[in-house]
């Protein structure tokens, strides 16, 4: 069974208490550190492997822009900003005559971009049509080409969602949606973050003279971004 977020957070808090018995790190702060580092590692992990393990399917309402007449839908949550919009794993729709088909047997959209979509109309084989539709992304809207005349009302999209540290409704007792083999790397990065923060002396003062008074740490501080174990 996968570890829960609570287990990861309190395991790290326990480690910090052993090293710095007077460290004032709250569970909320530790949760924030865990999520921001886990989000980065999971994105790097997704960049390197072809897997649907972290793809979430959504049924999304399609709207029509009153000016252009083009169809679009809004992303329901933040997704990873990946090369060629691969934070969107797939977009499909089921034609009216094929509503009984599973969504993966329905019509799939091909990704394009605003600067490339013009050339699609130069060749008959590439012209956007209901059987050969395309999508492109602008900010949080996903625009659909080739389905303007058939009035589709919904699509299914498989999205690679980010981990949101501001999600106040996060259930920390659910399994952690994170690669288990990367937990040691995550733990090391969070420990480095905490070591860096706790190494900054609290008694530094600034009297306006341009000089900082107080004892600066003499030990070498390792940046949280300079970790050789970040390979995923």
pLDDT, tens digit, for every residue of 92-117?
998 765 555 555 558 999 999 999 98
Contact 196, 16 (CB under 8 A): no
Comparing 61-70, 81-90, 160-169, 184-193, the range with the smallest average pLDDT is: 160-169
Contact 204, 214 (CB under 8 A): yes
Farthest-apart Cα atoms in the chain, separation: 77
Q: In sequence order, what E strands does the chain have?
A: 56-61, 63-64, 71-74, 88-93, 107-108, 110-111, 134-138, 141-145, 154-159, 205-206, 212-213
- In tens, the pLDDT along 58-93 reads 999 999 999 988 999 999 999 999 999 999 999 999
pLDDT for 211 equals 53
Q: At which residue do the structure tokens 């979430």 appear?
A: 56
Give me the chain's average pLDDT, please.
Answer: 82
Residue, of 17 and 156, whose pLDDT is higher: 156
């Amino acid at each position: 069974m996968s570890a829960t977020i609570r287990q990861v957070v309190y395991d790290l808090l326990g480690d910090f208490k052993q090293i710095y018995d007077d460290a004032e790190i709250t569970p909320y702060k530790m949760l924030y550190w865990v999520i921001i580092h886990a989000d980065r590692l999971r994105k790097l992990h997704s960049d390197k492997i072809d897997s649907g393990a972290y793809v979430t399917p959504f049924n999304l309402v399609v709207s029509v822009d009153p000016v252009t007449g083009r169809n679009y839908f809004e992303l329901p949550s933040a997704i990873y900003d990946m090369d060629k919009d691969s934070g969107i794993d797939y977009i499909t729709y089921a034609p009216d005559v094929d509503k009984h088909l599973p969504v993966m047997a329905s019509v799939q959209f091909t990704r394009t971009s605003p600067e490339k979509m013009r050339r699609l109309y130069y060749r008959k084989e590439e012209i956007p049509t209901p059987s050969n539709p395309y999508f492109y992304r602008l900010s949080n809207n996903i625009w659909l080409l080739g389905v303007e005349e058939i009035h589709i009302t919904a699509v299914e999209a498989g999205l690679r969602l980010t981990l949101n540290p501001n999600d106040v409704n996060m259930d920390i007792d659910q399994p952690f949606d994170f690669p288990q083999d990367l937990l040691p790397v995550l733990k090391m990065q969070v420990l480095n973050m905490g070591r860096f923060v706790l190494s900054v002396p609290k008694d530094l003062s600034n009297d306006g003279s341009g000089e900082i008074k107080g004892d600066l740490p003499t030990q070498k501080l390792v940046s949280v971004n300079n970790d050789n174990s970040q390979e995923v």
